[in-house]
């Protein structure tokens, strides 16, 4: 599915990932409708700056609303009739879901339900909805594969995302809506979220403050650079799943009854948290003062993506090494904050 003359709806367009996806689709010739509630979960000025940059492109328009508001999405779909939907809007954060679970019900469950209803009334050609590696929860066998059973989520955030997968599957089956769910693995890079470890560590290290290192540093993460993530998403756009009864050459649907699949997007290489911190030290030219703490509730000690399906579908797999990705983030951070 090429972008020329077509319309894409990107929810969460003023967010970290949404901004990068919208910018790439615009560059590829899509007309992009951005949708975002501009909530104050983190500094709204960062979201406003991302939105302002997107609005410099004549092919971009923006709707500031909440997903869960009745009729907003249905009216938007009737007006814009998007060919492509990239659903990235959500209440994010594992730890915040312990403190404010109701916001996850509203945005992630009710909001995604409103989106599915709008897609049912005005079907796009392909819908790509964000999930998370957190759905693998207590699974201990790694790397995580899409076919692994994932029924032991360890945070309410992860539970809402697993519910989104199930909700989307039912709509895909009932209404023949092609849906791809992608499970992200610790995305980082320029214009990142201030609540993420890289942002917090960089700010603290440059400010001469200690950083909190959980589980005493015994953590591993499959860090995925934002440019690699966006490339993977864009390459998945034309590979929409079909009902299993139809022979296809673009990969398995991963469902016996619906045009629905799950795809991991990760770097396929777990990195020790302490090595990640060393990369920040190298990029900033400063040594971190580490405050070792126990594991936080809802967190997991390691993540590791099996990206064989992504490679099979698209011929692409993320490959940006952590030192390079961190260097690019720190360069952006210093420029943006004049640090």
Burial 271-295, CB ≥16 within 10 A → b, else e: bebeebbbbbeebbeeebeeeeeee
C-alpha angle 112/159/119, rounded to 5°? 15
Instruction: Give me the chain's average pLDDT, please.
Output: 94
On whether residue 65 sits in a domain, the answer given is yes
Give the C-alpha distances (Å, rounded to integers) separating 47 from 37, 50, 131.
Answer: 10, 5, 21
* Full domain range(s) for residue 40: 7-187+225-266+305-319
Residues in the chain, pLDDT under 70? 1-3, 245-253
Check which CATH number belongs to the domain holding 231 and give it.
3.40.50.720
pLDDT score, position 163: 98
On whether residue 195 sits in a domain, the answer given is no
pLDDT score, position 2: 67
DSSP secondary structure of 210-265: -EEEEGGG--EE--EEHHHHHHHHHHHTT-----TTS--SS---S-SSSSEEEEEE
On whether residue 132 sits in a domain, the answer given is yes
On whether residue 147 sits in a domain, the answer given is yes
On whether residue 201 sits in a domain, the answer given is no
Give the C-alpha distances (Å, rounded to integers) separating 323 from 3, 200, 275.
Answer: 33, 17, 9
pLDDT tens-digit map of 76-110: 999 999 999 999 999 988 888 889 999 999 999 99
On whether residue 17 sits in a domain, the answer given is yes
Angle between helices 322-337 and 197-206 (to 10 degrees): 60
Q: Which residues are catalytic?
A: 157
Q: Is the dihedral of CA 192, 159, 145, 220 positive or negative?
A: positive
pLDDT score, position 249: 46
Contact 3, 25 (CB under 8 A): yes
Structure tokens at 286: 């400063």
Q: What is the dihedral of CA 246, 248, 251, 254, to 10 degrees?
A: 0
Q: Which value, in Å, is the radius of gyration of the alpha carbons in the chain?
A: 19
pLDDT score, position 311: 96
Gap between the Cα atoms of 308 and 263, Å rounded = 9
Structure tokens at 229: 């993530």
The candidate with the shortest Cα–Cα distance to 263, out of 94, 141, 132, 163, is 132
pLDDT score, position 246: 54
The candidate with the shortest Cα–Cα distance to 81, out of 130, 35, 116, 33, is 33
What pairing do the DSSP bridges indicate for beta strands 271-272 and 220-221?
antiparallel
On whether residue 177 sits in a domain, the answer given is yes
In the chain, how many domains are there? Answer: 1
The candidate with the shortest Cα–Cα distance to 92, out of 169, 47, 39, 44, is 39
On whether residue 298 sits in a domain, the answer given is no
pLDDT tens-digit map of 176-229: 999 999 999 999 999 999 999 999 999 999 999 999 999 999 999 999 999 999
Contact 211, 201 (CB under 8 A): yes
Phi, psi of 273 (to 5 degrees): -55, -40
Give the C-alpha distances (Å, rounded to integers) separating 130 from 92, 185, 189.
Answer: 11, 11, 18
Q: 3-state DSSP call for residue 325?
A: helix
Phi, psi of 252 (to 5 degrees): -85, 150
Gap between the Cα atoms of 86 and 234, Å rounded = 10
Residue with tokens 């938007």: 76
């Amino acid at each position: 599915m090429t972008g020329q003359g077509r319309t894409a709806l990107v929810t969460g367009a003023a967010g970290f990932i949404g901004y990068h996806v919208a910018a790439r689709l615009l560059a590829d010739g899509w007309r992009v409708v951005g949708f975002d509630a501009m909530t104050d979960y983190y500094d709204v000025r960062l979201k406003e700056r991302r939105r302002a940059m997107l609005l410099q492109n004549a092919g971009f328009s923006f709707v500031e609303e909440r997903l869960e508001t009745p009729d907003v999405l249905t009216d938007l779909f009737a007006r814009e009739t998007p060919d492509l939907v990239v659903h990235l809007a959500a209440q994010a954060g594992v730890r915040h879901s312990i403190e404010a679970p109701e916001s996850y019900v509203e945005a992630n469950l009710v909001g995604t339900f409103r989106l599915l209803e709008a897609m049912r009334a005005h079907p796009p050609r392909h819908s790509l909805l964000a999930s998370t590696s957190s759905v693998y929860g207590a699974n201990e066998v790694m790397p995580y594969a899409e076919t692994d059973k994932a029924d032991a989520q360890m945070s309410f955030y992860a539970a809402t995302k697993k519910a989104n997968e199930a909700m989307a599957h039912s709509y895909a089956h009932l209404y023949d809506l092609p849906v791809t769910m992608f499970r992200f693995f610790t995305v980082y890079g320029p214009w990142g979220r201030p609540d993420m470890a890289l942002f917090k560590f960089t700010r603290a290290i440059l400010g001469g403050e200690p950083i909190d290192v959980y589980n005493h540093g015994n953590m591993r993460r499959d860090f995925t650079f934002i440019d690699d993530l966006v490339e993977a998403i864009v390459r998945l756009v034309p590979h929409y799943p079909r009902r299993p009864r139809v022979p296809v050459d673009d990969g398995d649907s991963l469902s016996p009854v619906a045009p629905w699949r799950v795809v991991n997007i990760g770097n396929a290489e777990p990195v020790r948290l302490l090595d990640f911190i060393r990369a920040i030290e190298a990029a900033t030219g400063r040594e971190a003062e580490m405050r070792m703490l126990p594991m936080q509730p809802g967190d997991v000690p390691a993540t590791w993506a099996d990206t064989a399906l992504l490679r099979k579908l698209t011929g692409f797999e993320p490959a940006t090494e952590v030192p390079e990705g961190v260097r690019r983030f720190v360069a952006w951070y210093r420029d943006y904050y004049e640090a």
